[in-house]
Amino acid sequence: DAGVIQSPRHEVTEMGQEVTLRCKPISGHDYLFWYRQTMMRGLELLIYFNNNVPIDDSGMPEDRFSAKMPNASFSTLKIQPSEPRDSAVYFCASSFLPGKDGNTIYFGEGSWLTVV
């Protein structure tokens, strides 16, 4: 079975440029999550969707970050303009209702972003 698919796997960009990260969740999952991981802060939830609707975006650091889910099989996380402090690994994950009946979430391989 295909897992969560993310692209690009690696991106190096210059400060001020727009970055778009893409995610295809596991088919049938109705929850999609965007996480960011850094050494200092660990794994932080940025935003999550249920049935394509954003439920909680309180983790989005600032207005430079935006996320969309136009359909059940695709989501994007956009950073515009990017800054060096945005350098991190961005993980997309999907699941059924997390926690219910022991449901857990499944991660993609991550997008490694470096902003110089």
Partner 1 sequence: RKEVEQDPGPFNVPEGATVAFNCTYSNSASQSFFWYRQDCRKEPKLLMSVYSSGNEDGRFTAQLNRASQYISLLIRDSKLSDSATYLCVVNRVNYGGSQGNLIFGKGTKLSVKP
Residue 56 interacts with partner 1 (CB under 8 A)? yes
User: Which residue's structure tokens are 């136009």?
Assistant: 70
The answer to whether 18 touches 82, Cβ cutoff 8 Å, is yes
Residue 105 interacts with partner 1 (CB under 8 A)? yes
CB of 12 to partner 1, least distance (A): 16
Across 88-105, b (16+ Cβ under 10 Å) vs e yields bebbbbbbeeeeeeeeeb
Residue 58 interacts with partner 1 (CB under 8 A)? no
Q: Smallest Cα–Cα separation from 96: which of 72, 63, 113?
A: 72
1, 2, 42, 63: which one binds partner 1 (CB under 8 A): 42
Q: Smallest Cα–Cα separation from 105: which of 86, 87, 92, 89?
A: 92
x-or-dash string of contact with partner 1, 81-100, rule CB under 8 A: ----------x-----xxxx
Residue 67 interacts with partner 1 (CB under 8 A)? no
* 3-class state of residue 14 by DSSP: coil
Residue 12 interacts with partner 1 (CB under 8 A)? no
Residues that bind partner 1 (CB under 8 A): 31, 33, 35, 41-43, 45, 48, 56, 91, 97-100, 102-110
